[in-house]
Structure 1
Amino acid sequence: MRATILIISPDRFEAPGMELFDFPPIFAGGPEWLTKPVLIALLSSVVVIALCWAAFARPATVPRGWQNLGEYAYTFVRDEIARPHLGKDTDRWMGLLFSVFLTVLVWNLMGVIPLIQLPLAAYIAFPAVIAISVYVIKIYLGVRHHGLLGYLRGIIHLPGLPGWAYGLYAPLILAEVLISSLFTHFVRLCANMFAGHMLLAFFSSVGFWFLFEKLTPLGAGVGVLGVLMTILLTALEMFIQFLQAYLFAMLAAMYISSGLRGGH
């Protein structure tokens, strides 16, 4: 697997670009789909399964170690993500929401792990798969519990809205609930991870170039600034990675709730 942090020319500094996300097959002549992002996806699945197994396979009355960490994460997802939106249906959907939160969080954290340094959610196909799955569940629940017409009626109903205004309001709210909500679910996550990875790659490249490749008295200050910015942005990026996993799982809970309740 090749490194993704530095894009260096022998004669001049070149800022990182889209080549950071372009990976050939792992093995020469191997299948085109077997690339570094695919390996990271498989590794992320193993990590999530291993964490849950270590935390919950043999639960003790007094939690310690991995169980303590797992119960803290589970409680966070239940109380801060699921329960505010799903209420009495929380426990039924906790398996899905807990898996979504952990998976997206691990995907994101791969961007700051040495030698990996690639947030998987920056590839739009990966969060799109989860978002589409949640979307299908939302529509299925809405039609199953309320019928097609009842579900659509629940979406467009707005107490106090004059009848003549529904001609304008109904198409807009239907487009938001049935179309744009799907794309905003995964595009927000992808865009944040993509932008964060590009910023980290840029400043780390600046530090490496001016401190190691082309060290000069004048350029040393720029190199030090690049290193300091890389450190600060890494800390900020870790916070954003957690925040985006939280928002992604929270939106999943909201959409599932909208299907169950038949509203928007």
Structure 2
Amino acid sequence: MSGWTSLMPMETFEPPGVESFDLPPLIPGVPWFDKYMLMALVSVVLILAFWLTMARKNALVPSRGQFVGEAAYSFVRNTLGRDMIGHDFKKYLPFLIAIFSFVLVNNLWGIFPLTLLPTASHVGWAYGLAGLVWVLYNAIGIKKFGPIGYLRHVTIPPGVPTWMFPLIIPLEFLSNILVRPLTLSLRLFANMFAGHLLVLVFVLGGEYLLLHSEPLVNKVAGVFSLIFSMAIFGLEIFVQILQAYIFTVLTAQYISSATAEEH
């Protein structure tokens, strides 16, 4: 055991953990303005610039940039809007485009050299996005059915016998009103947090083994750790795009269920 310890002198290595995501404010005395807030604000500017630029370019033969914009718009419009919500999807399309763009860009901050941190890896941002979706689909349902009618709509599925109401109503209320925003936020947060933490472990651990450890076996392990971290970065790109898609799909599904004539 002592021989193994001499090969792996890790007592000075501090592994990353939850505290690695607690960032100091960028402006002294302004605790809310941290790196997460800066990335979110920059993402809003980038998203507005992208879509405004795409809206101005309406050439009959699209350029590469226009093709990208039209492809992104068609994807959200057809796959996430029309197919999930139905014939009334157009009124919700701006929100779906905005939420998909915001989640996607803020997830992709995790792969850029100057940021290397997804915004949603801080749980507060995931809660905020899910809370916004929760307010929207419940407000839509209340507007359509009224407060009492919407409550019946989300708690009493059609065809359920009356004698099962005492069991079904609490379960449906928990599922549709309380659990949805929690699962929506925690799914996004957990994937962004776990992915970034995994990258930190392999990058920081590999750097320590390669540069701050003496045994040759440790240095070789450090090289492999850094190489493997690049593979994780590639996987992270896929997960970040997928989570933006899933978040928007579920948003569209919740809007659809809130407005459907039959629950």
TM-score, normalised relative to structure 1: 0.90
Q: Which residue of the partner structure matches residue 18 of structure 2?
A: 18
> Where do 5+ consecutive residues of structure 2 fail to align?
1-8
User: How does 1:221-240 map onto structure 2 within 5 Å?
Assistant: 221-240=220-239
Contact 1:51–1:66, Cα closer than 8 Å, also in 2: no
Q: Counterpart in 1 of 2:143?
A: 144
Residues 158 and 26 (structure 1), Cα distance of their counterparts in 2 relative to 1, 3 Å cut:
closer
- Number of aligned residues: 255
CA distance in 1, matches of 2:178, 2:47: 30
Q: Which residue of 1 aligns with 2:50?
A: 51
> In the superposition, relative to structure 1, how do residues 107 and 215 fare at CA in structure 2: closer, same or farther (>3 Å)?
farther
For residue 61 of structure 1, report the CA deviation from its aligned partner.
1.9
Q: What does residue 72 of structure 1 align with?
A: 71
Deviation at 1:215, TM superposition (A): 4.9
**How big is the shift at 1:11?**
6.4
- Judge conservation of contact 1:155–1:263 (CA < 8 Å) in 2: no
How far does residue 88 in structure 1 lie from its aligned partner after superposition? 0.8
Q: Deviations over 1:4-37 (max 9, x none)?
A: xxxxx9962221112321222223x342222111
Cα root mean square deviation, aligned? 1.9
Q: Percent identity?
A: 36
Alignment match, 1:4: none
Distance 2:154 2:10 in 1: 59
Task: Provide Cα deviations, 1:216-238, integer angstroms capped at 9, x if missing partner.
Answer: 31112211221122011111111
- In the TM superposition, residue 118 of structure 1 has moved relative to its aligned partner by 0.8
More off after superposition, 62-71 vs 168-177? 62-71
Name the aligned partner's letter for residue 178 of structure 2: I
Secondary structure at the aligned position of 1:234 is classed as helix
Q: Say if 2:204 is the partner of 1:194.
A: no
Displacement after TM superposition at 1:263 (Å): 5.1
Task: Note if contact 1:142-1:262 (Cα within 8 Å) is conserved in structure 2.
Answer: no
* Stretch moving more, 9-18 or 228-237: 9-18
Aligned to 2:4: none
Which shifted more, 153-162 or 197-206? 153-162
Alpha-carbon distance in structure 2 between the residues aligned to 1:45 and 1:212: 39
Deviation at 1:125, TM superposition (A): 1.9
Task: Report if aligned partners of 2:211, 2:219 keep a CA contact under 8 Å in 1.
Answer: no
Q: Find the counterpart in structure 1 of residue 5 from structure 2.
A: none
Q: Superposed, which structure 2 residues align to 1:96-245 within 5 Å?
A: 96-245=95-244
CA contact (8 A) 1:207 1:226 kept: yes
Distance in 2 between residues matched to 1:44 and 1:224, nearest whole Å: 34
2:87 alignment counterpart: 88
- Residues 135-168 of structure 1 show CA distances to partners (whole Å, capped at 9, x for unaligned) of 1121122122112222222223334433222211
5+ residue gaps in structure 1?
1-8
Task: Tell me the SS of whatever aligns to 1:62.
Answer: coil
Q: Secondary structure at the match of 1:88?
A: coil
Deviates more, 1:11-20 or 1:104-113: 11-20
Q: Distance in 1 between matches of 2:137 and 2:81?
A: 15
TM-score, scaled relative to structure 2:
0.90
Deviates most, 42-51 or 254-263: 254-263
Contact 1:151 1:262 in 2 (8 A): no
